[in-house]
């Protein structure tokens, strides 16, 4: 009874090429690359997505705490939306960039300092601006990250508010 609407195919036609894709079942597959295994993978991951959404407020609170701690370091500023509503964030870090200019390995000093503390994720060579994601980290692990950044700042005579 609803087959015509449920299995409706695409009516899109290119404006200059005139090419059309009339076999694409819009509601079932969306874009052709998601046929077969990719769509099965998406379906299998759905329970994890539901669980992740249920804990989202807790995850966002952790990132807000970390941003507050990192902004205690001289010239560290979170970029983008405030307050954060996502666990991925960018920081402007000009004080570390100044430090990097005086180091033998330049921008790699931050990556190496974090690596010594068993913290990964910051791209080697990045000191002017960095991106971090706290999703899935425990409160203790996030405190460890904040402490590591504070320790690195103090080591290179960058001021940290108490």
Segment 42-62 shows an average pLDDT of: 92
**Average pLDDT in the 67-75 region?**
98
pLDDT of residue 32 exceeding 60, the answer is no
Q: 17: how many CB neighbours lie within 10 A of its CB?
A: 7
pLDDT given at position 13: 77
Please, are residues 74 and 158 in contact by the beta-carbon 8 Å criterion?
Answer: yes
Question: For the residues 89-113, what does the mean pLDDT come to?
Answer: 93
Quote the pLDDT of residue 131: 95
**Does the pLDDT of residue 6 top 90, yes or no?**
no
Q: How many CB atoms lie within 10 A of CB 27?
A: 10
- The token pair at 63 is 């990132």
Distance between CA atoms of residues 113 and 40, nearest Å: 41
In this model, does residue 75 exceed pLDDT 90? yes
Record the pTM. Answer: 0.73
Domains of the chain: 3-54 (no CATH), 56-155 (3.90.1150.10)
**Continuous segment of H or E residues that includes residue 102:** helix 94-102
List C-alpha distances in Å: 162 to 45, 142, 151.
Answer: 43, 18, 12
Q: What is the pLDDT of residue 50?
A: 92
Work out the pLDDT band at 28, boundaries 50, 70, 90: low
More confident residue, 30 or 78: 78
Residue recorded with tokens 């690195």 = 152
Q: Which residue has the tokens 């203790």?
A: 140
């Amino acid at each position: 009874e609803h087959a015509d609407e449920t299995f409706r195919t695409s009516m899109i036609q290119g404006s200059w090429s005139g090419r059309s894709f009339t076999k694409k079942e819009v509601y079932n597959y969306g874009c052709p690359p998601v046929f077969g295994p990719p769509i099965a993978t998406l379906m299998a991951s759905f329970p994890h997505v539901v669980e992740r959404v249920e804990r989202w407020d807790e995850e966002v609170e952790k990132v807000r705490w970390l941003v507050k701690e990192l902004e205690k370091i001289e010239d560290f500023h979170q970029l983008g939306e405030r307050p954060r509503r996502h666990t991925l964030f960018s920081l402007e870090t000009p004080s570390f960039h100044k430090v990097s200019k005086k180091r033998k390995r330049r921008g790699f000093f931050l990556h190496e300092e974090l690596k010594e503390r068993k913290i990964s994720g910051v791209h080697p060579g990045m000191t002017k601006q960095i991106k971090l994601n706290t999703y899935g980290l425990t409160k203790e692990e996030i405190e460890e990250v904040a402490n590591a950044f504070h320790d690195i700042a103090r080591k290179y005579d960058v001021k940290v508010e108490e």
